[in-house]
């Protein structure tokens, strides 16, 4: 087991696999068959999931996905194939299948594939930032800690039930392409969900309160207090839940709102993250969750939000879920602007889209947004860590609240809805506090905020300082058909919005 402070290394059992031998065989065969570009991936992804209900272990799973993949450009057309046998014969056969797929697809390909240039990285190694590989921790130790955390909630007054779910992902990848890039990288991801439930025996009404702990690019140390104060939060959740159960229902109307990073990250994900994926803006991605209102004719002129709005795409943020050394096309991780001073200035792109849209984007290089969730899937353009930047000398959350006479402070994410162009939306949350004369004045309930993307971000008057900035995110962002799942983080400060439409969700549901 790693000790805190050690620098993790790539797992020896992965390094022992015949990575370079398989890659050499596959790439050479692709070249022999006339491929102008070829890339090879060997991936091993381990998943572990633990679920408890009322302090009793309900399920425990540990699975592994191991395989190899080859993608080629042949006669200007993509070809892709994958396999599971780690032999040179299999690697050669998969390369042949990839070329054959390109040949079959060639008659219906109207746009020859060209890729943006990228420097070659020879035998590079990258490992994400964590202390303890969770897969080295005995399961009994994990269950014991989760049971203790569950007991703390279950034994509190007013808590009727507790659900706990924890997931760990260990991803190892070897990549090589015909341009001379080879790299090995390893990433660890951890996700947690601790939820307490209360039930009113007289009315039958029930509600829940979940931990705000985000999924992160950390290891087992996250569950023991590195990066999150579990003792403090677990002690507070029952009180939050009791107050929520007794809270009055909101009166629908227009309010000023201060939104905590634990809620705002999801609005960023849906209304900015997906909307600035270039494949959506171009209409290539339409079936799964739609396209984007932020079309390419608006680049450089769309007023996305207020002048305090600065949003970046980032594949380098420490502990970010979408942070990598290199993407699945051999592009190094980097950071760039998506929205600057409230104006749309960039997109998330892969090498093909970067080349085709070089004049539009003003750069000849991909920003490293290609990813496949397993060796059995082709790389597609996936979301970077898309984050709203804080003001360097910005206010605290308390100072933002003090600027509001009659409003609402929103904490934690819950349900959401957005249209197929990422424009009309509504979001709910975990906790809502009435703001009266600049101070919190007890919880409210039954709240959703509703807006269009540009109206909402245009109403943002102020963002908090770095002290309010938190990296939240999700392990399961879906995209593509066949569907792929990606993990992505979104950092943001607390922020103040003026004149936001607030719905009463109970009334909207006709109850």
Q: Which residues pair with 450 in a beta bridge?
A: 426, 501
Rounded CA separation 168/125 (Å): 22
Q: What percentage of the chain has pLDDT greater than the value 90?
A: 95
- Residue 419, number of CB atoms within 10 A of its CB: 12
**Are 289 and 232 found together in one domain?**
no
**Are 204 and 351 found together in one domain?**
no
**Are 228 and 332 found together in one domain?**
no
Q: How, if at all, do strands 495-504 and 343-344 pair?
A: unpaired
> Mean pLDDT over residues 162-171, rounded?
98
> From residue 350, how far is each of 308, 327, 354 by CA, in Å?
28, 9, 6
Model confidence band, residue 66 (pLDDT cutoffs 50, 70, 90): very high
> Mean pLDDT over residues 298-314, rounded?
98
Model confidence band, residue 444 (pLDDT cutoffs 50, 70, 90): very high
The pLDDT score that the predictor gives to residue 7 is 60
DSSP three-state, residue 133: coil
Task: Judge whether 73 and 82 are in contact, CB under 8 Å.
Answer: no
For 501, the token pair is: 């439409």
**Are 265 and 352 found together in one domain?**
yes
The pLDDT score that the predictor gives to residue 509 is 81
**Are 225 and 348 found together in one domain?**
no
**Are 164 and 106 found together in one domain?**
yes
**What are the residues whose beta carbons fall under 8 Å from the beta carbon of 342, sequence distance 6 or more?**
303, 304, 305, 306, 307, 308, 309, 457, 458
Model confidence band, residue 5 (pLDDT cutoffs 50, 70, 90): very low
Residue 205: inside a domain, yes or no?
yes
Residue 368: inside a domain, yes or no?
yes
Residue among 194, 197, 196, 226 nearest 212 (CA)? 194
Task: Judge whether 265 and 183 are in contact, CB under 8 Å.
Answer: no
> Mean pLDDT over residues 7-35, rounded?
96
Rounded CA separation 354/386 (Å): 18
What 8-state DSSP symbol labels residue 345? Answer: -
- Count of the separate structural domains present in the chain: 2
Over the stretch 364-383, which tens digit does the pLDDT of each residue have? 999 999 999 999 999 999 99
Q: Where a domain ends, among 228, 246, 264?
A: 246
Residue among 26, 50, 47 nearest 38 (CA)? 26
Rounded CA separation 340/303 (Å): 10
**Are 457 and 491 found together in one domain?**
yes
Residue 237: inside a domain, yes or no?
yes
Q: Is the pLDDT of residue 511 over 80?
A: no
Residue 3: inside a domain, yes or no?
no
Rounded CA separation 9/128 (Å): 9
Q: What percentage of the chain has pLDDT greater than the value 70?
A: 98
Over the stretch 327-355, which tens digit does the pLDDT of each residue have? 999 999 999 999 999 999 999 999 999 99
Residue among 475, 425, 472, 473 nearest 450 (CA)? 425
The pLDDT score that the predictor gives to residue 8 is 84
Domain that holds residue 313: 253-508
Rounded CA separation 360/282 (Å): 12
Model confidence band, residue 211 (pLDDT cutoffs 50, 70, 90): very high
Residue 5: inside a domain, yes or no?
no
Looking up tokens 């070249």, which residue turns up? Answer: 31
Q: Is 314 exposed, middle or buried (0-12, 13-18, 19+ CB in 10 A)?
A: buried
The pLDDT score that the predictor gives to residue 3 is 39
Q: Where a domain ends, among 201, 225, 246?
A: 246
Rounded CA separation 37/182 (Å): 14
**Are 237 and 339 found together in one domain?**
no
Q: Look up the pTM and report it.
A: 0.96
Q: Where a domain ends, among 215, 246, 277?
A: 246
Please state the φ and ψ torsions of residue 252, each to the nearest 5 degrees. -60, 145
Model confidence band, residue 287 (pLDDT cutoffs 50, 70, 90): confident
**Are 211 and 260 found together in one domain?**
no
Average pLDDT, the chain: 96
Task: Judge whether 73 and 106 are in contact, CB under 8 Å.
Answer: no
Task: Judge whether 463 and 493 are in contact, CB under 8 Å.
Answer: yes
Please calculate the CA angle 114-477-333 and round it to the nearest 5 degrees.
50
Residue 221: inside a domain, yes or no?
yes
H/E run at residue 313: strand 311-314
Residue 1: inside a domain, yes or no?
no
Helix axes 139-154, 230-246, angle to 10 degrees: 40
**Are 225 and 299 found together in one domain?**
no
Looking up tokens 């395989």, which residue turns up? Answer: 67
**Are 67 and 109 found together in one domain?**
yes
The pLDDT score that the predictor gives to residue 2 is 38
The pLDDT score that the predictor gives to residue 289 is 83
Distance of CA 309 to the CA centre of its chain: 20
Model confidence band, residue 282 (pLDDT cutoffs 50, 70, 90): very high
Q: How, if at all, do strands 182-199 and 206-210 pair?
A: antiparallel
Residue among 14, 67, 69 nearest 38 (CA)? 69
| Strand residue runs (E) in 375-444 | 380-381, 385-388, 406-411, 416-418, 424-427, 431-436, 439-444
> Mean pLDDT over residues 372-400, rounded?
97
Q: Is the pLDDT of residue 236 over 80?
A: yes
CATH assignment of the domain containing 46: 3.30.2290.10
**Are 185 and 82 found together in one domain?**
yes
Residue 293: inside a domain, yes or no?
yes
Rounded CA separation 124/365 (Å): 20
Q: Is 483 exposed, middle or buried (0-12, 13-18, 19+ CB in 10 A)?
A: exposed
């Amino acid at each position: 087991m790693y000790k805190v402070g050690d620098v993790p290394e790539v797992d020896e059992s992965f390094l022992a696999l015949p990575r370079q031998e398989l890659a050499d065989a596959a790439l050479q065969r692709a070249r022999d068959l006339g491929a102008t570009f070829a890339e090879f991936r060997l991936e091993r992804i381990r998943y572990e999931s633990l679920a408890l209900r009322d302090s009793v272990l309900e399920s425990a799973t540990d699975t592994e996905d191991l395989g190899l993949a080859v993608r080629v450009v042949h006669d200007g057309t993509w070809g892709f194939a994958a396999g599971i046998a780690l032999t040179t014969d299999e690697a050669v056969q998969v390369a042949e299948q990839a070329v054959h797929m390109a040949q079959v697809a060639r008659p219906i390909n109207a746009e020859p594939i060209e890729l943006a240039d990228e420097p070659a990285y020879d035998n590079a190694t990258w490992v994400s930032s964590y202390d303890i590989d969770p897969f080295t921790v005995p399961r009994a130790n994990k269950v014991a800690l989760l049971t203790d955390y569950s007991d703390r909630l279950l034994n509190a007054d007013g808590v009727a039930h507790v659900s706990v779910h924890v997931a760990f992902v260990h991803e190892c990848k070897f990549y090589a392409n015909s341009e001379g890039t080879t790299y090995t990288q390893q990433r660890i991801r951890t996700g947690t969900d601790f939820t307490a439930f209360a039930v009113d025996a007289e009315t039958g009404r029930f509600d829940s309160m979940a931990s705000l702990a985000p999924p992160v690019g950390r290891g087992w140390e996250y569950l023991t207090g590195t990066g999150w104060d579990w003792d403090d939060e677990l002690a507070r959740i029952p009180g939050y839940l009791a107050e929520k159960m007794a809270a009055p229902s909101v009166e629908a109307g227009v309010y000023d709102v201060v939104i905590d990073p634990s809620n705002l990250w999801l609005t960023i994900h849906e209304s900015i993250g997906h909307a600035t994926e270039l494949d959506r803006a171009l209409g290539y991605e339409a079936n799964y969750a739609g396209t984007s209102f932020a079309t390419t004719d608006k680049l450089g002129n769309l007023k996305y939000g207020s002048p305090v709005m600065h949003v970046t795409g980032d594949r380098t943020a420490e502990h970010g879920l979408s942070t990598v050394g290199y993407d699945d096309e051999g592009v190094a991780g980097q950071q760039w602007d998506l929205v600057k001073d409230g104006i749309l200035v960039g997109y998330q792109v892969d090498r093909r889209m970067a080349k085709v849209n070089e004049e539009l984007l003003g750069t000849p290089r991909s920003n490293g947004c290609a990813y496949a969730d397993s060796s059995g899937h082709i790389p597609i353009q996936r979301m970077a860590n898309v984050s709203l930047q804080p003001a360097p000398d910005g206010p605290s959350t308390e100072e933002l609240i003090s600027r509001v006479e009659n409003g609402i402070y929103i904490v934690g994410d819950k349900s959401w809805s957005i249209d197929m162009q990422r424009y009309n939306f509504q979001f709910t949350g975990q906790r809502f506090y009435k703001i009266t004369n600049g101070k919190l004045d007890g919880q409210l309930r039954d709240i959703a905020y509703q807006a269009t993307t540009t109206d909402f971000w245009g109403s943002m008057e102020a963002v908090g300082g770095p002290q309010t900035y938190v990296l939240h995110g999700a392990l399961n962002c879906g995209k593509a058909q066949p569907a792929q799942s990606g993990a992505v983080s979104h950092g943001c400060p607390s922020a103040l919005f003026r004149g936001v439409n607030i719905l009463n969700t109970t009334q909207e549901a006709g109850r």
